[in-house]
Amino acid sequence: MANEIAKLKEEHGNFRKLLNLLETQLSLFHHEEQPDYQLMTDILHYMIRYPDHFHHPREDVIFSCLLERDSHAARSVEELARQHRVIAESGTRLHENLESVIAGALMPRQMIEAPGLLYITYYRTHMDREENNLFVLAEQLLRDEDWKTINAKTQSEPDPLFGRDVEERYCAVCHHIAQAVDSGRMS
């Protein structure tokens, strides 16, 4: 169903907003300014909570169903599933480093900046690949019964940041997104 793919693309748009905010914070290192470590931690907390536990597993089930329709997609499906694992692991490590800084640990900025920039670049490339390849294939090949199977095999949870009710932890993130949109730095 096209609306299922549209929802995944909408979520990707939300993730891009967060990656842009994270990138803005990391760029402050080059201006000899202090990034907002709490904001970065909250962004990563969301990224390792919602996308890694709900969005990516749903995509994995979609891609598995896609394999049943087109075995030629195997290499792409395997690579994207591997990327989901890499994103989850690198996001968790970065989140742990940010929490350590907030707790008072002294850490060279490169232990935050380099993994952060790599995470952002990798995540963006990953989403582009999904949207330009497998989402297109899924729209073409998956049938209504496939989507019923996908819905039965996946769990959902209201999005704690971009859903109807924003969790308190993410209020500052929401505020920063609104500021970026208002200033024209983000759409």
Predicted TM-score of the model (pTM): 0.95
Question: What pLDDT digit, counting tens, does each position of 143-162 carry?
Answer: 999 999 999 999 889 999 99
Question: What pLDDT digit, counting tens, does each position of 86-132 carry?
Answer: 999 999 999 999 999 999 999 999 999 999 999 999 999 999 999 99
Spell 71-107 as b/e; 16+ CB within 10 A means b: eebeebbeebeebbeebbebbeebbebbebbeeeeee
Give CATH for domain 2-155.
Answer: 1.20.120.520
Domain ranges (residues) in the chain? 2-155
Average pLDDT of 164-170?
Answer: 96
Residue-level pLDDT at 186 = 76
With a cut of 80, say whether residue 70 has pLDDT above it: yes
